Amino acid sequence: MSHTITVLPGDGIGPEVMDVALEVLDAASAKFDFKISRSTHLVGGAALDATSNETPLPKATIEASEKADAILFGSVGGPKWENLPPHIQPERGALLPLRKHFGLFANLRPGSCLPALTHASPVKNELIPNGFDVLCVRELTGGIYFGEPKGREERNGEAVAFDTMVYKKSEIENILHVAFKAAMGRDKRLTSVDKANVLATSVLWRETANEIATQYPEVTLDHLYVDNAAMQMVKRPDSFDVLVTENLFGDILSDEMAMISGSLGMLPSASLGEVKDNGLYFGMYEPSGGSAPDIAGQGIANPIAQILSVSMMLRYSLGETIAANAIDTAAQNAIDLGLRTGDLFTGKNGETRVNTIEMGNAILEAL
């Protein structure tokens, strides 16, 4: 098999961790016998610098991505570009337009904590003796962030602001299919999170979830109200497999999951578009964290989030599941051996402090 991807390293630690992740991708392609054709393009601050602040998302970057099966993204932004007009700032001018252009409606964010790293989680360690591994599937292009009307006006001499939470049934169906399929590839348990005791959109959401569930008889579906889900997430994160929820709830819950995971440096993410004829998704894959300007240029960033973004890309966009699993196992192996980048290092017995390249080499070795 041969796959085409665009690589957008971006800013800050992006290029540093991307180099290491590409080495892992190359090793996986050699070992598991598939070909990757890839081209690297400018995005974010790097693109602004190259175009005299014209755009953080050059046309060539979009055109190359249109021809690809997936985008492997690093991270964008940094103090250098923070005072530019908002519409050309790296995140707003590149990341959001990319999501819109490619119709990326499903955001997948794993919130996981390996057994060897539970000390880094703010959750009491006796509650998570074996760590946890949850996948949050968030609807990304609908709901209250985009619903109309929204605005601000004066009513009876007082300022009033309003937003509209609206979902079409087809939007709910689309995201639920992504979540059920993801659950099929994992432990086959799906929790749908809503606020069906208060919100009309949530009543439709819950009805639709129950309908779609009949198409996935192997998956066990349950429902939680979002306030309860937020509480259960810090009490028993290890009881969840896949969560699916609408845009606003997912924004909050996926950040809660990132926090209890312990380190941003370990967490990948995927934003998926329409499913293609071959059953795979066009997607954009990137670490959950940002460009980390505080440590950029020092070669000490944790490359694991970027490496696990590669494995998510192999799983959801390229159909190379065996290679994806092997990369996940290799990363876990490096952690089990005690290797720790600065974000994970505690100085405990058995830990060895490593830099970005050393962590990458250990994962390559394990692969």
Residue from 131, 143, 262, 265 that binds ligand NAD (CB under 6 A)? Answer: 265
Minimum CB distance to ligand NAD, residue 17 (Å): 6
Place of tokens 């998956």: 219
Contacts of residue 69, defined as CB under 8 A and 6 or more positions apart, other chains included, come to 3, 4, 5, 280, 282, 317, 318
Of 266, 189, 182, nearest to 224 (Cα)? Answer: 189
Is 251 labeled as catalytic in the residue annotation?
yes
Minimum CB distance to ligand NAD, residue 355 (Å): 11
Strands 70-75 and 35-40 come out as: unpaired
- For Cα atoms 10, 15, 21, give the angle at the middle one, nearest 5 degrees: 120
x-or-dash string of contact with ligand NAD, 110-149, rule CB under 6 A: ----------------------------------------
Based on the shown chain and the rule CB under 6 A, indicate whether residue 255 belongs to the binding site for ligand NAD: no
270-279: string of b/e by CB count within 10 Å (b at 16+)?
bbbbebeeee
Minimum CB distance to ligand NAD, residue 284 (Å): 10
Is 227 labeled as catalytic in the residue annotation?
yes
x-or-dash string of contact with ligand NAD, 272-291, rule CB under 6 A: --------------x--xxx
Minimum CB distance to ligand NAD, residue 92 (Å): 9
Residue from 246, 328, 343, 358 that binds ligand NAD (CB under 6 A)? Answer: 343
Residue 294 buriedness (CB in 10 A; 0-12 / 13-18 / 19+): exposed
How far apart, in whole angstroms, are the C-alpha atoms of residue 310 and residue 180? 22
Residue from 148, 155, 294, 349 that binds ligand NAD (CB under 6 A)? Answer: 294
Based on the shown chain and the rule CB under 6 A, indicate whether residue 308 belongs to the binding site for ligand NAD: no
Residue from 18, 68, 71, 292 that binds ligand NAD (CB under 6 A)? Answer: 292
Of 143, 139, 159, nearest to 151 (Cα)? Answer: 159
Closer to ligand NAD by Cβ: residue 142 or 289 = 289
Structure tokens of 343? 């974000």
x-or-dash string of contact with ligand NAD, 37-76, rule CB under 6 A: --------------------------------------xx
First to last CA, the chain: 20
Choose, from 69, 195, 328, 343, the residue flagged as catalytic.
195
Residue from 185, 293, 319, 338 that binds ligand NAD (CB under 6 A)? Answer: 293
Structure tokens of 1? 């098999």
How far apart, in whole angstroms, are the C-alpha atoms of residue 200 and residue 165? 9
Based on the shown chain and the rule CB under 6 A, indicate whether residue 309 belongs to the binding site for ligand NAD: no
| Interface positions with ligand NAD (CB under 6 A) | 13, 17, 75-78, 91, 95, 264-265, 286, 289-295, 301-302, 305, 343
